[in-house]
Structure 1
Amino acid sequence: MKLFSCETHINQALDMFVAEHKTFPMLEKLKEEEKLSTKCTYCDVAAVYIVEKEK
């Protein structure tokens, strides 16, 4: 599961991940070039963070 999040929805993304996977996710800031083309999972704003399972 990968969730992309803007500044506004980061808490929602973290809560959703923990509720679904019962574990803490990795939280990383997107690279500048990724920010341009990636939208938040919860709205239409450019994503700033990616929330995903630890690698």
Structure 2
Amino acid sequence: MKIYSCETHIDHALEVFVVEQEKFPIMELLPDEEKLSTKCAYCEELALYLVVD
């Protein structure tokens, strides 16, 4: 599971991951080149984080 998230929705993304996967995720900052084109899974803002297992 991968969730791209902006600063506003990172708490929600972490919570959703834990509930659905039943384990703790890894939260990574996106590289600068990906920040320019990747949208948050919950809004239209640019994603800053990637939540993965």
TM-score tier, shorter chain, comes to: over 0.9
After superposition, the CA RMSD in angstroms is: 0.3
In 2, the alpha carbon distance for the partners of 1:7 and 1:26 equals 16
Q: What's the TM-score, normalizing by structure 2?
A: 0.98
Instruction: State the 4+ residue runs in structure 1 displaced beyond 4 angstroms.
Output: none
DSSP 3-state at the match of 1:8:
coil
Q: Which residue of 1 aligns with 2:20?
A: 20
Instruction: Encode CA deviations 1:17-44: one digit per residue, 9 max, x unaligned.
Output: 0000110000000000000010000000
In 2, the alpha carbon distance for the partners of 1:21 and 1:28 equals 17
In 1, the alpha carbon distance for the partners of 2:10 and 2:16 equals 10
Residue 13 of structure 1 deviates from its aligned partner by 0.1
Q: Identical aligned pairs, as a percentage? A: 57
Matched pairs, number: 53
Q: What's the TM-score, normalizing by structure 1?
A: 0.95
Unaligned runs of 5+ in 1: none
